[in-house]
Chains A and B, each alone.
Chain A
Amino acid sequence: MTGASPLLEVEHLSMGFGGVRAVDGLSFVARRGGITALIGPNGAGKTTVFNCLTGFYRPPVGRLTLHHPDKGPLLLERMDGHRVAGEAQVARTFQNIRLFARLSVLENLLVAQHRRLMRASLWSLAGLLGVRRYGRAEREAVEFSKYWLDKIGLSHRADREAGTLPYGDQRRLEIARAMCLRPVLLCLDEPAAGLNASESAELNRLLLDIRAEERVSLLLIEHDMSVVMGISDHVVVLDHGRKIAEGTPAEVRSNPAVIHAYLGEEEDGEEGEAGGA
């Protein structure tokens, strides 16, 4: 895996809030076709890195380069959220699921494809006039959504309101929605949070499938070690905003600095970190 070319290069990223440095001079590389995991104790700055990547925050220092296979290098830190998703094709999911709760399951997937639909429908004008090309684009989008609904096993619930789905289904739907953006990089913020052991194993299979069949690279934040150790190729460990170790899962697991960061502190919950700080 180490031979693959870099897809995402994070260089000297720093981001602070008031006096707190949430991320401090962080550099790492996520390789094409790889599954890179970002781990660390609560408050290590993992979610902040995601927020910088996806246009939520404008980091004052650092460069985030996405080597897009078709569009060449793109500087993510200069892009608004909708351009990161639409142009750079970086998709993301959230620790606390953010579906469009009152749209149907299918509509959630269609919204994610709206850019191509809007273009095909000439901003709905053609749709109003009933132009054929628009009809075809809409059908294609629905087909693509159904493909993903099949994959996550929700085809029979396509017309339900997304907010009424059970928790595990919502998690998978959020991943499917991200995939409907046809991303080159998928960022997952604690996808296994709140899942039981069998759901978590199912998630592993889905993520491996996304990499193998869809050829999408993954960057994930995870607390669940069975996910991290089971599927990732490369692990980056953060503590207090700094990188303290990186390497293969096995290397990281035996690294004394990592063991200290995770076990050395007295009060270290395994719950989600608050507000991405």
Chain B
Amino acid sequence: MAYFVQQTINGLTLGAIYGLIAIGYTMVYGIVGMINFAHGEIYMIGAFLSVITYLALDALGVASVPLALLAMLLVSMVVTAAYGWALERLAYRPLRGSFRLAPLISAIGMSIALQNFVQITQGARVKPLQPIITGGFTVMEADGFSVSISYLQIAIWVMTVVLMAGFTWLITRTPLGRRQRACEQDPVMASLVGVDVDRTISLTFVIGAALAAVAGLMVTLQYGVIDFYIGFLAGIKAFTAAVLGGIGSLPGAMLGGFLIGLIESFWSAYFTLEYKDVATFGILVLVLIFRPTGLLGHPEVEKV
């Protein structure tokens, strides 16, 4: 039982990270109908930026932990958002209106390019980061096993819940969100009611990238090591989460993220660790076969 609770806690932490990345996939799919395969790399860049910011602050002699965390958060969000914006502007917008596969191929190209860019500029070795938020407490003890929650995990949950709530509010309640949903449903009509569709699409990439940057910061803090290759697997898993929840659906992406996190964590706990990725992607295959619209997605209605 205790082991189960512990795995749930770990799974939710992992799921929060996947969920934040998955939002970026699902939003972009919703508005331009493409899978942004470079989104995993955007997340990886977010993780690198938080490490770089930390090291820079350390070199400057800033010792305050809250200040360092805030700076890491802001710098990685802002700079990663700029990457997201540039990505759309350079690699996708010129191909809009081209054949359907063109932006997809461009996305894969950008994914490889960004990976290599970071590998060359930052080196291929694993980058460690010393634990910044330490400590935690024991929730329960049973069967000679103690269940613990670290302060960091709580911080990750709180942050995820706040971000997701704020984000949901932004999409459902503000003029910006209305504009976003209008573009998603009918970009041509949206432009005819005066919505600047290009700008809305840019904004979608910016928001998605900023959320991925937060996920990057979280993963850095939680696991303490990053390298230029982390974006690939995390990206594909977050993509799986988005598909599981129903691609195009925002609550679906969040739900899917948590589910994938839990599945992975339980699989590693009760079955074999080596096969945890196989389990995750097995789910992707099953979803695509039996419920292609995902858990919360609505069926695509062909526009005539």
Interface residues of A, Cβ cutoff 8 Å to B: 54-56, 80-82, 84-86, 91-92, 94, 96, 98-103, 107, 110-112, 114-115, 117-118, 121, 123-124, 127-128, 138, 177-178, 180-181
- Contact status B190-A111, CB under 8 Å: yes
Cα separation A147 to B192 with both chains bound (whole Å): 22
Q: Which of B170, B176, B182 contacts A100 (CB 8 A)?
A: B182
Task: Give A272 Cβ to nearest chain B Cβ, in Å.
Answer: 13
Task: Give A33 Cβ to nearest chain B Cβ, in Å.
Answer: 23
Cα separation A101 to B190 with both chains bound (whole Å): 12
16 further A-B pairs in the complex, CB-CB below 8 A; given A99-B189, A114-B175: A82-B194, A82-B195, A85-B194, A92-B192, A94-B189, A100-B185, A100-B189, A110-B175, A111-B179, A111-B190, A111-B195, A114-B182, A123-B176, A127-B174, A127-B175, A128-B170
Interface residues of B, Cβ cutoff 8 Å to A: 170, 174-179, 181-182, 185-186, 188-197, 304
Total contacts A-B at CB 8 Å: 86
List of A residues within 8 angstroms of B304 by Cβ: 96
Cα separation A85 to B191 with both chains bound (whole Å): 8
Q: Which of A94, A98, A117 contacts B175 (CB 8 A)?
A: A117
Cα separation A165 to B195 with both chains bound (whole Å): 24
List of A residues within 8 angstroms of B192 by Cβ: 54, 81-82, 84-85, 91-92
Q: Is the interface of B mostly helix, strand, loop or mixed?
A: helix
- Contact status A101-B175, CB under 8 Å: no
List of A residues within 8 angstroms of B194 by Cβ: 82, 85-86, 112, 114-115, 181
Task: Give A25 Cβ to nearest chain B Cβ, in Å.
Answer: 26
Q: Which of A92, A100, A124, A177 contacts B174 (CB 8 A)?
A: A124
List of B residues within 8 angstroms of A127 by Cβ: 174-176
- Contact status B185-A102, CB under 8 Å: yes
Across chains A and B, which 5 residue pairs bring their CB atoms closest together, nearest first?
Answer: A86-B194, A117-B175, A81-B191, A124-B176, A85-B194
- CB nearest neighbor in A for B169: A128
Task: Give B16 Cβ to nearest chain A Cβ, in Å.
Answer: 22
Cα separation A96 to B189 with both chains bound (whole Å): 12
List of B residues within 8 angstroms of A107 by Cβ: 178, 181
- Contact status B174-A111, CB under 8 Å: no
A-B contact pairs, 10 of them (CB 8 A): A56-B188, A82-B194, A82-B197, A91-B192, A110-B175, A111-B195, A114-B182, A115-B194, A127-B176, A177-B193
- Contact status A112-B193, CB under 8 Å: yes
- CB nearest neighbor in B for A119: B175
Cα separation A178 to B193 with both chains bound (whole Å): 7
List of A residues within 8 angstroms of B178 by Cβ: 103, 107, 110-111, 114
Cα separation A124 to B176 with both chains bound (whole Å): 6
List of B residues within 8 angstroms of A138 by Cβ: 175
Q: Which of B174, B179, B182, B188 contacts A81 (CB 8 A)?
A: B188
Cα separation A63 to B182 with both chains bound (whole Å): 31
- Contact status B175-A100, CB under 8 Å: no
